[in-house]
A = this chain, B = another copy of it.
Amino acid sequence: MSQTTPALAGKLAGLQSSAIRDLLKLTARADVVSLAGGLPDAALMPRERIAAAAAAALDDAAVLQYTESPGWPALRAVLAARETARIGRAVPEAEVFITHGSQQALSLLAEVLLDPGALVIVEDPAYVGALQVFRAAGARIVAVPLDRDGMRVDALEELLAAGERPAVVHTVSNFHNPGGVTLAPERRRRLAELAEAHGFWIIEDDPYGELWFDAPAPAPIAAYSPQVIRLSSVSKILAPALRVGWMVAPDRVCRAVELLKQGADLCGSALTHRIATDLLTDTDWLAAHVTAIRTAYGTRAKSLVDAVRTTFGDRVSCTDATGGMFVWADFTDGTDTSALLPAALDAGVAYVPGSAFAVSDAYRSSMRLCFTTSDEPTLTEAVTRLAKAAE
């Protein structure tokens, strides 16, 4: 039998499995409260409503056939209407392209928009799924730090002034994963201006925008410029198993993505596309459903943040819980969160060390805490255990 081919050896050596995924395998123990996950709460997913939609969809054999590469037309239509309302300009169906989760939108866009060696600006800390895609595309990656108002657009301006010419700037604009912060409106406007002045694409990756707790997320960056490609999905508001994500992008980008999608996997599932269409068009039900998720996550998030602040005081600085699925916390005394993790697991709590999301900065004293899948007493207990480990 032949040995591993050079290409295969390269893939095995060069690609790194997500540190988070590997960690999740270690933290699945029943005695560990995991704040390390990144999953929405399956108990809040609309199982019965999806079952009804599946049954209705399966009255028609057409949902079992191959569908168009850009997605089931009715789903594109309802998303075009929703995005029109969100962005504040008419989004035609031709500019909505359905993907297998928004991760597929990212990976197809990287193929379409990036030549090897092209510069991509990411946030630091970064969404690791984006890093994985941009690294696989052979991009040169430069990070811009986050602060409490999201991406430091001033730092991006310095890079541009120094002559850097990005092809793409990637940002998780709302309730950042892992950073927990939201890009301020004035920065959105400025970022869009920079894109137009310097001719780069903005990929506005927005899976969490609907999961706001006290006030809706600001207008999307896409509201300020057609040079923004917006990504989102139903994974966080309906169910990941529908595998329905989408991009809103200019027609010529969608057509290039379509050709790649044919080679990548031909098309999505008409069945799950139709289920998503049914739920997204049932607007009264949807509004109540999303409100229920917001309320549950908001309550959990605030109890986690309260416990962290009460328990650690000045020793840990934690983002406000304004939406999404995560808060980001920093030990102000230099505690090394990677070194702390084994003791934390012994004490019965897990988190993801900041280093897992680091690009330029090391984030050695940081951690990402996910609040979606535990109730309030459990989250409070988790913080108590963390404090014990950090003593």
Query: How many of A's residues come within 8 Å of B, CB to CB?
Result: 85
Contact B240 A64 (CB under 8 A): yes
Q: Which of B64, B196, B256, B270 contacts A47 (CB 8 A)?
A: B64
A116 nearest in chain B by CB position: B7
Q: Which of B6, B252, B264 contacts A104 (CB 8 A)?
A: B264
Enumerate chain B residues within 8 angstroms of A64, measured Cβ to Cβ: 42, 45, 47, 50, 239-241
Contact A11 B243 (CB under 8 A): no
User: Which of A10, A55, A239, A242 is most buried by chain B, counting CB atoms within 10 A of its CB?
Assistant: A239
A288: interface (CB < 8 Å): no
Q: Which of B2, B129, B253, B263 contacts A103 (CB 8 A)?
A: B263
A21 nearest in chain B by CB position: B262
| Cα distance, A265 to B50, chains bound together (Å) | 22
A115: interface (CB < 8 Å): yes
Majority secondary structure of chain A interface residues (helix, strand, loop or mixed): helix
Enumerate chain B residues within 8 angstroms of A241, measured Cβ to Cβ: 63-67, 269-272
Would A15 and B260 be within 8 Å (CB), given that A2-B196, A55-B51, A103-B265 are in contact?
Answer: yes
A356 to chain B, nearest CB (A): 14
Contact A199 B18 (CB under 8 A): no
Enumerate chain B residues within 8 angstroms of A43, measured Cβ to Cβ: 61
| Cα distance, A285 to B61, chains bound together (Å) | 19
Q: Which of B8, B100, B239, B260 contacts A112 (CB 8 A)?
A: B8
Would A1 and B196 be within 8 Å (CB), given that A65-B42, A272-B269 are in contact?
Answer: yes
A313 to chain B, nearest CB (A): 36
| Cα distance, A40 to B62, chains bound together (Å) | 11
Q: Give residues in A with beta carbon < 8 Å to B.
A: 1-8, 10-12, 15-18, 21, 39-40, 42-43, 45, 47-48, 50-51, 54-55, 58, 61-67, 99-101, 103-104, 107, 111-115, 118, 129, 132-133, 136, 167, 195-196, 198-201, 225-227, 235, 239-243, 252-253, 255-256, 258-260, 262-272
Additional 6 contacts, C-beta under 8 A, given A2-B200, A17-B262, A103-B265:
A8-B112, A11-B111, A15-B259, A50-B58, A129-B262, A242-B271
